[in-house]
Amino acid sequence: MPEDPPDGYNSRAETLAHIHRVRDHIGSFLSVMLARAAAHDASNLVEPEKSAFDLLLPRLRGVPYGSAGFRAVEAEMAEAIAHHHAANSHHPEHYGNRGIAGMDLFDLVEMVCDWMAAAERRPEDGVRLDINAAQFGIAPQLESIIANTLARWPRG
């Protein structure tokens, strides 16, 4: 049986304060993510990206992600893709040589959501975490965290 707390201390108020601070921090995180969601990939709608995507995205239909054909179409879009990466921090390429290591958790969450949305264009491929992990040098621990997240993601 536990002893009586010193001086009749009751942890309830301190615990509730902690719970509320955690809620506040999660709310702040959600606010940042909602702002990012509203602005996501807006650069796709302006030049030099818009015209490149108009021409080349239809050519990607039916082309497996990560295949030689996919990489060839991407190579044709190199200028627009470079502009896109420079304008959008949820791409590892945004951070140059630092890649994934330059990202923060906001970037990472947006990146995974972007991968999921892109994978919906080719549901038979799904999110190719194996290809992305190799391409971006994602460490095994982070790859496992992303895989766990994808597995637990609510469907609907």
User: For 114-156, what is each residue's pLDDT tens digit?
Assistant: 999 999 988 888 899 999 999 999 999 999 999 999 999 988 6
Domain span at residue 139?
Answer: 91-156
The backbone region for 67, taken as left when phi is positive above 0, alpha when psi lies in -120 to 50, beta otherwise, is beta
Separation of alpha carbons 148 and 125, rounded Å: 18
CB 63 within 8 A of CB 87: no
Q: Is residue 38 part of a domain?
A: no
- Band of residue 1 on the pLDDT scale cut at 50, 70, 90: low
Model's pTM, two decimal places? 0.91
Percent of the chain with pLDDT over 90: 86
Q: Is residue 34 part of a domain?
A: no
As a whole number, the mean pLDDT across the chain is: 94
How many structural domains is the chain composed of?
1
Alpha helices, DSSP H, located in the chain: 12-39, 49-60, 68-76, 78-87, 105-119, 129-136, 140-152
Q: Is residue 57 part of a domain?
A: no
